[in-house]
Structure 1
């Protein structure tokens, strides 16, 4: 009797699990194209590796939050210019990023392809800029890595991909 029950319930269980997996299929894939050529990234620096991880992680989380379940987004990062500028430090090999205000906003040049149900619905190359980054009061820069870039990407993502955005 257990074998008979299992033979009936197992196919049903597989269908249910397959449907649930398909429903959570929204995905963001981030590719860093020639990061050694980026405006503000030295591919050997800890900051560059941390920034790329942060950018990728932020975009993936934004996708989970704002993309429809049947959507896939591929983002090719073409250039990164972080907020502020690197200044030499007294500690050898450890330059310090200094936020100098309006003159040093973050920007990321990217190309993206949004697919829904396997069909391309939007494709574009653009430069995302955080022009008002110094006037923000909702950023806790001391406790967060790359807060200006995160805020800039969040604003851009919501404008482009949140339900109802065009």
Structure 2
């Protein structure tokens, strides 16, 4: 399963990258995604979440300067809230309480320009106050807290914008 999710996510990212700037691109790999701390249990929900996060990385990648590429290896995901099973065939219920259920994403990254790595490292993205902060993302976006963390990391680490 992990290989098919990774390949599907990679294909989605490559397709999106082709639609964006021709010389800038983002590749997202999910490393042992079946061992992630907290993503949906149902394979179709898991694929949906991982594909959506890969698309978001690709969207952010459109702001990379021409000639730069970003490779991200996601090594763990713990989504905001806690998931509770519901009846068969329906989406599980994710409850957000703002306690010890904040989102965490662990990753490795390499930013390259013209084939040369210009910046690389590891990061552990987390937001203990995820419910207490405003977001520009829609309340209807189930991954808004994770996306906000990714965007803040991308701006600070990859684009090196000042806060």
- The bucket for the TM-score relative to the shorter chain is 0.7 to 0.9
Question: Which whole-Å CA distance do the structure 2 matches of 1:69 and 1:39 have between them?
Answer: 35
Unaligned runs of 5+ in 2: 1-20
SS in 1 for 2:47: helix
Displacement of 1:144 in angstroms is 1.5
Question: Which whole-Å CA distance do the structure 2 matches of 1:27 and 1:155 have between them?
Answer: 19
Displacement of 1:137 in angstroms is 2.4
Query: 1:9-68 deviations in whole A, cap 9, x for unaligned?
Result: xxxxxxxxxxxxxx7311100011111010013564333112101110110010102x11
TM-score with structure 2 length normalisation?
A: 0.78
Identify the match of residue 128 of structure 1 among 118, 122, 125: 125
For 1:114, the equivalent position in structure 2 comes to 111
Q: How many equivalent pairs are there?
A: 140
State the 4+ residue runs in structure 1 displaced beyond 6 angstroms.
none
Unaligned runs of 5+ in 1: 1-22
RMSD: 1.9
TM-score with structure 1 length normalisation?
A: 0.76
* Greater Cα radius of gyration, structure 1 or 2: 1
Q: 1:164 to 1:63 in 2, by over 3 A?
A: same
